Amino acid sequence: MKQKTPTVLYISGLGDQYDGFRRLCLVLWPHTKLVPMKWFSSEDFAAKLLRLKSEITKYDEVILVGESAGATMVLHIAEENPRNVIRYATLCGVCSQVIPIHPRLKLRSPAFEKATRSLNGSYHLEKLHHFRAWHDPVVTKKYSSVEGAKVTTIVSVGHFFTIFLCLSVYAPWFMYKLRKTRLDFLAR
């Protein structure tokens, strides 16, 4: 019996204006759908989370990938651990409730601040995988992973550049790592 390929839901970070570019790059990622968070819209955190949960229920098997601020949404879903989500991944992700947030960003995106500050840290670590840059000045090492989860350091410098690489040049490698990780934990 052939195994069903899980759908990857890619949750966007703060750069709403880059969603067109994200969609273009995600063509390289088979079985993937962009879930734009529209962080700078008037939609509050609860509505964004509900919209993501609704999207997750449409598929039998899901791998969630949260880019930067989108990682907070992945972690909120990981707290509930829905049965059909087989892997949680963050890419240069905000994974700590104590990360400093600039006051202007708090005003422009109250949903992001709420998503960050309400993380509770209770996750299924065996299903959580963080991908981060060797050096990321935007989301530093201290705030980019949850203790005990698998971490892969990408040979790259910079926040946006690393995301760009994973969306484009490193896309085959990134997809391989997402799916390989799934097989690793299913074999246990």
pLDDT tens, 106-157? 999 999 999 999 998 888 888 999 999 999 999 999 999 999 999 999 999 9
Q: How many helices (H) and strands (E) does the chain have?
A: 7, 6
Per the DSSP assignment, residues forming a β-bridge with 66 are 11, 90
Domains, the chain, in order of start with CATH, read 7-186 (3.40.50.1820)
Phi/psi at 87 (5° precision): -155, 145
Percentage of residues in the chain having pLDDT higher than 70: 94
Model confidence band, residue 186 (pLDDT cutoffs 50, 70, 90): very low
88 with 123: CB under 8 angstroms? yes
Q: How many CA atoms, within 13 angstroms, populate the side-chain half-sphere of residue 92?
A: 26
| pLDDT band at residue 179 using 50, 70 and 90 as cut-offs | confident
| Alpha carbon of residue 21 to chain centroid | 17
Residue 182 reports pLDDT greater than 80? no
Q: Please state the rounded mean pLDDT for residues 91-95.
A: 96
Sequence-distant (≥ 6) Cβ neighbours of residue 125 within 8 angstroms: 146, 148, 149
Q: How many CA atoms lie within 13 A of 169 on its CB side?
A: 8
CA distance 74 to 138: 19
Sheet holding 150-157, edge to edge: 32-35, 7-11, 62-67, 85-91, 128-135, 150-157
Question: What pLDDT digit, counting tens, does each position of 23-44 carry?
Answer: 999 998 989 999 999 999 999 9
3-state secondary structure of 181: helix
State the chain's mean pLDDT as an integer.
Answer: 91
pLDDT at 16: 87
Confidence band, pLDDT 50/70/90 cuts, at residue 187: very low
Answering whether pTM is above 0.75, one says yes
